[in-house]
Amino acid sequence: MTYNETGTIRKNWRGRVRVVLVYPNTYFVGMSNLGFQTVYHLFNQTDDVVCERAFMPGKSGQGKIRTAESGRLLSDADIIAFSLSYENDYPNILTILEKAGIPRLSCNRGDNHPLVMAGGVACFLNPEPIARFIDCFLLGEAEALLPSFFACLYDRGIELNRRRNAGFSDKSGFLNHLAQNVPGAYVPEFYRTTYHKDGTIRSFDQLCDAPAQIERVFLKDLSHIPTCSKLLTPDTTFQEMFLIEVGRGCPRGCRFCSAGYIYRPPRFRPVSLLEDCIKQGASLTDRIGLVGASVSDLPGLTDLCTRTCREDIRLSFSSLRADALTPELLSVLKQSRVKTATIAPDAGSERLRRVINKGITEEDILSAAELLVSNGIPNLKLYFMIGLPTETPEDVEAITDLCKRIKSGFLECARAKKRIGEITVSLSSFVPKPFTPFQWVPMDNVQSLKKKIKQIRTGLKGVANVRVHADMPRQAQIQALFSRGDRKVSEILSLADDNRGNWAKTLKAASVNTDFYLYREREPDEFLPWNIINHGVRTSFLEREYKRAKQGKTSPPCPMESCNACGVC
Ligand code: SF4
């Protein structure tokens, strides 16, 4: 299959370590992911490595999966590396292994099979639900992990020979060496989980000299390392947009958001480096996207906007806080002919926004909406979550009320501009994520979530120019199961694969009690499946934040220096 893209890396396979980097979703989804592109480039930076990409075929895709670059089969590789960002892609891992003729369980593979590894944010949140399918995980940021992984591979795993293909002679010995010597490497076969009678985890025991906990590995300093698009294609969400990562993590500490905790401390790149990246991007395309969990917190963003606000550059931002709209930012948005701006109030009421530590007021939200529209941006997208901890019927009603108030101010400004656009209200079901202050809370059930969506739809029905878009609570439930589960949950993935993705049949047949993972409040001292990883954030800090949430108290943002509040620095 030929893809319409630039930036493809083609290398000879002979005498090199052969890696197939797999995104377990379609080309369109995978290529929209900057992390996936970055890892592709990092693998290929080593001369002794050839890395090609593979994706899930679209709905009509039949037969074997082949690499994008040379059309080779996955089974020809030494290493199959899965890049995992979303738990809902987990079932595709099994489909891909099956199509490649590789046993799904790690324990059934031998030296003649490729090493199956995985990395990406979903893994360093909680690798346990897929632990039985993966030979080794690399937990943390690829730039910091790959050099020591390859050093170990050359030392103990693979003998490079220019005349013949490389390969593993003692995979198990290599994994042993990896687990003991490479920080961030997690080899599930060297750990055994034991359970209490009630199904909670009693212990997580090492079966060899592997570390008791796996440290998340990250780059302490991003100031000299740019992360930008390596391939450009019209076939992504961003359509030939050159993406630039401004930083990692977010200082705000919203209590529902894992990115605000697992990427601590928040790190931003200097404006001078980002300006160079923008110049590089502008030589390839006129569309530049600044991405990150917290773009509007970038120190010097106003300066960067002023320096790069040019006719031939259309700059856009992946996230902007409602309280961060400066005249310079608005002028860039205007110049870039941005048609739709996104505001994320996340909750409808002031009370619930305090519970989640959102840190913005209704006034901020209303004034941001009016500013955007009066600066010529015709459409607004509003993000809300339903099913948040402590949510009441009044909080759900408050979403409808807030949308109506935003609409009324929006309309006034739009009339003045003689251009009336549209407001899209996007509703997502809250999933309690590992390593957040809400990691102990139960998830709302599907019926209740559906009722809330219906209530909001009814409340906004007939309001002109307002559209409601809601995710499917059943999908959110599956996401929650795979983000909160332990190793037993892998049975569900195997069953789903056997049942060709029929979830109703799978959940009915599974011996695993899904309610146990979804709807149970965890005790503060319970050993959670993801406790195998150490992200550096103290559990006592998360516990304190959870208590403050229940009291409706907010906490200040992470100061990003000179503090020891959460334990990371
Ligand atoms: S220790 Fe302080 S500065 Fe460091 S990440 Fe935690 S809150 Fe931020």
- Other C-beta atoms closer than 10 Å to the C-beta of 501 total 12
CA distance 223 to 452: 44
Distance 261 CA to ligand 1 centre (A): 10
Distance 557 CA to ligand 1 centre (A): 9
47 within some domain:
yes
Question: Cβ contacts of residue 15 below 8 Å, gap of 6+?
Answer: 48, 160, 161, 162, 163, 164, 165, 166
pLDDT of residue 299: 93
Helix (H, G, I), strand (E, B) or coil at 136: strand
Helix (H) or strand (E) holding 294: none
CA torsion angle for 47, 179, 88, 68 (degrees, to 10)?
A: 20
pLDDT of residue 561: 85
Distance 329 CA to ligand 1 centre (A): 27
Distance 266 CA to ligand 1 centre (A): 8
* Ligand 1 pocket by Cβ (under 6 Å): 264-265, 558-561, 563-566, 568-569
132 within some domain:
yes
The residue whose CA has the least distance to atom 3 of ligand 1 is 560
Q: What is the pLDDT along the chain (569 residues), one digit of tens a residue?
A: 778 899 999 999 988 999 999 999 999 999 999 999 999 999 999 999 999 999 998 765 567 899 999 999 999 999 999 999 999 999 999 999 999 999 999 999 998 899 999 999 999 999 999 999 999 999 999 999 999 999 998 887 676 555 556 677 788 889 999 999 999 999 999 999 999 999 999 999 999 899 999 999 999 999 999 999 999 999 888 888 999 999 999 999 999 999 999 999 999 999 999 999 999 999 999 999 999 999 999 999 988 888 887 777 888 888 789 898 888 888 888 888 888 889 999 999 999 999 999 999 999 999 999 899 888 888 999 999 999 999 999 999 999 999 999 998 888 777 777 777 899 999 999 999 999 999 999 999 999 999 999 999 999 998 988 999 999 999 999 999 999 999 999 999 999 999 988 888 998 899 999 999 999 999 999 999 999 999 999 999 999 999 999 999 999 999 998 899 999 99
The residue whose CA has the least distance to atom 7 of ligand 1 is 558
Question: For residue 113, which of 172, 47, 27 has the smallest C-alpha distance?
Answer: 172
The residue whose CA has the least distance to atom 1 of ligand 1 is 564
Q: Say which amino acid occupies 142.
A: A
- Indicate the top mutation candidate among 218, 248, 264, 267 to test ligand 1's pocket, ranked by most ligand atoms within 8 A of CB: 264
CA distance 289 to 285: 11
357 within some domain:
no
Question: What are residue 50's DSSP bridge partners?
Answer: 18
Q: Alpha carbon of 442 to those of 37, 296, 514: distances in Å?
A: 35, 32, 12
The token pair at 70 is 């040379």
Distance 130 CA to ligand 1 centre (A): 31
Distance 41 CA to ligand 1 centre (A): 31
Helices (H), 320-361: 327-335, 350-355
Distance 358 CA to ligand 1 centre (A): 18
- Which atom of ligand 1 is closest in space to residue 265's alpha carbon? 5
Q: Is the peptide bond before 265 cis (omega within 30 degrees of 0)?
A: yes
- Indicate the top mutation candidate among 262, 540, 545, 560 to test ligand 1's pocket, ranked by most ligand atoms within 8 A of CB: 560
425 within some domain:
no
Number of domains the chain contains:
1
Mapping DSSP onto H, E and C, the string for 159-206 reads CCCCCCCCCECCHHHHHHHHHHHCCCEECHHHEEEEECCCCCEEEEEE
- Which atom of ligand 1 is closest in space to residue 251's alpha carbon? 8
Residue 12 burial by Cβ neighbours in a 10 Å radius (0-12, 13-18, 19+): exposed
Question: What are residue 116's DSSP bridge partners?
Answer: 80
Distance 212 CA to ligand 1 centre (A): 24
70 within some domain:
yes
The residue whose CA has the least distance to atom 5 of ligand 1 is 265
CA distance 275 to 300: 11
Helix (H, G, I), strand (E, B) or coil at 148: helix
CA distance 318 to 294: 8
The residue whose CA has the least distance to atom 4 of ligand 1 is 569
Distance 562 CA to ligand 1 centre (A): 8
**Tens-place pLDDT, residues 166-181:** 677 788 889 999 999 9
- Which atom of ligand 1 is closest in space to residue 568's alpha carbon? 1
Give the length of the chain. Answer: 569
Helices (H), 110-208: 121-125, 142-152, 171-181
pLDDT of residue 291: 95
Q: Say which amino acid occupies 467.
A: R
The token pair at 180 is 């003991």
Distance 218 CA to ligand 1 centre (A): 15
Distance 556 CA to ligand 1 centre (A): 11
The angle subtended at Cα 9 by Cα 71 and Cα 150, nearest 5°, is 95
- Which atom of ligand 1 is closest in space to residue 562's alpha carbon? 3
Structural domain for 162, as ranges: 17-215
- Which atom of ligand 1 is closest in space to residue 559's alpha carbon? 3
**Tens-place pLDDT, residues 414-460:** 777 777 789 999 999 999 999 999 999 999 999 999 999 999 999 99
Task: Kindly write down the DSSP assignment for every residue of 529-560, as one continuous string.
Answer: GGGGEE-S--HHHHHHHHHHHHTT---PPP-S
- Which atom of ligand 1 is closest in space to residue 567's alpha carbon? 1
86 within some domain:
yes
The residue whose CA has the least distance to atom 8 of ligand 1 is 558
548 within some domain:
no
233 within some domain:
no
Question: What are residue 36's DSSP bridge partners?
Answer: none
pLDDT of residue 374: 85
Distance 260 CA to ligand 1 centre (A): 11
Question: Position of tokens 């493809």?
Answer: 8
The residue whose CA has the least distance to atom 6 of ligand 1 is 566
- Which atom of ligand 1 is closest in space to residue 560's alpha carbon? 3
